[in-house]
Amino acid sequence: MRESAIGKTEPQSRRDVEHQALFATENSTFRPENSDIAAHNSNGAAQSSDIAAQNLTFRPQNSNGAVQSSTLRPQHPKLQPLSTPHSPLPTPHSPALPQSALLPAGEAALHIWKPLWEQGWRTFKWKIGVQGIAAELELLHSFTQSLPATANLRLDANGGLSLDDAAQWLEACDAITANPNLPVVMEYLEQPLAVSQFQAMQHLSDRYTTPIALDESVATLQQLQTCYEDGWRSIFVIKPAIVGSPTRLRQFCQDYAIDAVFSSALETAIGRHMGLRLAKELGNPERAMGYGTAHWFNDVETSDFAQLWQTL
């Protein structure tokens, strides 16, 4: 039975092979026609390559614009901790362009300020309201003990303090100012309370010697105008990148003699350039501008503020 089955299978196998060979031969007769199509397509491809080559001749003319655009648009800027070895410290700034260096919150600030001081920075901004008030007041004591006499220190609570905590911070700052052995300048406490507590901040400003600066309360031009109309005469921290129309802002600052500190909203090159231009024109020249943030970015076009200043 097996031999019979094999015998029947072999002829069938041969027929299959022959049929496949015949099919392959028949298909081959169509290839010359297809080769004409392929040749035609290759001519089209050649024409396309000629067009592509012609297009390439126009690109060098636009290359300068592309390079310029790339310098204005840092690729995906990322915030980096100040202490990472890959984040270079900012270069010393010109006396004509005083800047406030942004420090990290907590104890890290005690280790970061000195390298910045050696680079030429004289004003520092320290974030508070992150830990418990007792621990942070201890850090403030250590901080002011170590800072040189000519240093200026700003405290920024980002609206995160309670009324009682804000009063304790202001009392501590007043005590430092009154201590002749601690000649550090406590420049101001920034936005101690939430935006909704404007009147409470007004009362604190009247009660303590250390100035209070409004930040989140004057984030927009409308808020800035409202706070001024409601009687705020202390410091205004203005962030040009988010406040609104530069023209209206310029008009407001020219109409009213406000104590303005222009500050960064962690924008990149274009926004910072515009902000510095307005700060030069409208800011209080006696106060450092709050644009000492470039060292928090991986890729900015320059961290040399003096060089940028010359372009304004």
Catalytic sites, residue numbers: 127, 239
Structure tokens at 26: 């028949």
One DSSP character per residue, 107-153 reads THHHHHHHHHHHHT--EEEEE-SSS-HHHHHHHHHHHHHHS-TT-EE
SS3 79: strand
Q: What is the dihedral of CA 113, 118, 119, 121, to 10 degrees?
A: 50
Rg (CA), the chain: 35
Q: Which residue spans within the chain are E strands per DSSP? A: 99-103, 123-127, 152-156, 185-190, 212-214, 235-238, 259-262, 289-292
Among 174, 162, 160, CA closest to 207: 174
d(CA 207, CA 197): 16
d(CA 66, CA 87): 27
